[in-house]
Amino acid sequence: MSTGIKSSRGADLYDRARRVLPGGVSRNAVLRTPHPAYVDHGEGCRVTDIDGVTRLDFSNNMASLIHGHACPEITHAVTEQLSRGTAFMMATEVEVEYAEHLCSRNPAFEMLRFVNSGTEAIMLALKASRAFTGRPKIAKAEGAYHGVYDYAEVSQGASPETWGDVDRPRSVPLVHGTPQSALDDVVVIPFNDPDRAIAILDEHADDLACVLIDLMPHRVGLNPAEIEFVRALRDWTTKNGALLVFDEVITFRTEYSGLQTRYDVTPDLTALGKMIGGGFPVGAVAGRTEVMDILNPQSGRYLFPHSGTYTANPISMTAGLAAMRKFDQPAVARLNALADRAKSGIQEAIRSSGVNACVCGAGSMFRVHMKEHPPRNFRDAYPTPEETRQLKALIEDLFNNGIIIINTGSSTLSTPMTETEIDALVDAFRSGFAKIAASS
């Protein structure tokens, strides 16, 4: 059935929104043509908009809702905590319980500090790396998204016109007005290219505090990092006295202990966020005690004063603990198997349609590219104008037929999903690919 947005309620609401919000929204990701869809409620893996149209939700608020919407266990736990208070100038027992639980999931998480978002987790990890090493620079992969911190967002918006030579990628600002000093302190390396990456890192060996890497960066293509690349970064950072920082804000869902357990490589610090909040804002940095101790005011090496008004608030802690306890090893395995079913079905739909497309990903996340082969790096993943047009048409077709995915072509699963929802997604992709083939 067609569920295209024709509602005057949505149009009227958007007219109101544009009077008080830049662009009519508080985050650009919800923009659609002619206006955003406005949600009324969500339940499980479905959301219903203000006009009564219900859709399957494979975006899950940008991968943050591992149990979908209004999960009963989370709702019950949070409702109980609400009656006791939402934030205090005191520590809470649930903060300790939740830290214990997260640390129990991965032996590399010797100690942990909570923050309020994935962006804050990256900020803390980078600042901690500088404090620990006494060095100013960070290195990151070209095109990778790590939140909205000046240093972390460098090269995120690079393009063929700005990104420079592959042997020496430029530090490209995302936001107009980014200080040159910030750009100068970010070393950009190509993803999945250990030889070029190490050659670049060697030029800055004495100044690098850390190498920041997402093992399956969304903006780079959502294709897992190759083991040789990750091991090369670990060996280089160990040899040169820099820290290795993993961004698992999105990828922690792929395995019970995070995607890093597939690599047999132990980082010094790991940034977490999104799903560990159980639907509420949260972030965390976990790592080895020697590094984390610089945050400890009672330590002999206290170098990094850190606090935050809503850090470790009991609502986020309660929701997160309930969510992660529910996302146990059997739940992880079941969701990953559903994702494998989806990818296989989408690949078959691509083959039968004859369009140039591919699907890649790991765990309970995957992404469709309008390219014949999965990209190895950001430059491979960068879409042509025709690929952009085709993907936009595909996403719009899915939406009009009751399926929500992320506007990059990515999908994330939630535990309320079954084979029925997966097969509905595959059928919708099959229909969308057939339309693209017919229009080519």
Residue with tokens 């994935």: 118
> What pLDDT sits at residue 5?
45
| Distance from C-alpha of 91 to C-alpha of 137, rounded to nearest angstrom | 34
pLDDT band of residue 1 (cuts 50, 70, 90) is: very low
Q: Above 70 in pLDDT, residue 4?
A: no
Mean pLDDT of 312-325: 98
Strand partners, 243: 210
Give the percent of the chain with pLDDT over 70: 98
Q: Does domain 72-326 have CATH number 3.40.190.10?
A: no
Residue spans of the domains in the chain: they are 8-66+328-439, 72-326
Strands 410-412, 46-49: parallel, antiparallel or unpaired by DSSP?
A: unpaired
pLDDT band of residue 249 (cuts 50, 70, 90) is: very high
Q: What is the pLDDT of residues 285-309, one digit of tens each?
A: 999 999 999 999 999 999 999 999 9
Mean pLDDT of 46-73: 96
Q: How much is the pTM?
A: 0.95
CATH T-level topology, domain 8-66+328-439: Aspartate Aminotransferase, domain 1 (3.90.1150)
Strand partners, 368: 359
Cis check: omega of the bond before 34, within 30 degrees of 0: yes
Q: Above 60 in pLDDT, residue 123?
A: yes
Q: What is the pLDDT of residues 8-55, one digit of tens each?
A: 798 889 999 999 999 998 999 888 888 899 999 999 999 999 989 999
For 10, 23, 48, 49, the CA distances from 16, given in Å and listed in that order, are 10, 11, 21, 17
Q: What is the pLDDT of residues 149-185, one digit of tens each?
A: 999 999 999 999 999 999 999 999 999 999 999 999 9
Q: Above 80 in pLDDT, residue 355?
A: yes
> What pLDDT sits at residue 10?
85
**Residue 293, SS3 per DSSP:** helix
Measure the CA angle with vertex 161, ends 155 and 166; round to 5°: 60
Q: Above 90 in pLDDT, residue 2?
A: no
Mean pLDDT of 261-275: 97
> What pLDDT sits at residue 144?
97
Strands across the sheet containing 403-404: 39-43, 46-49, 54-57, 403-404
> What pLDDT sits at residue 331?
98
Q: Above 90 in pLDDT, residue 82?
A: yes
Q: Above 70 in pLDDT, residue 85?
A: yes
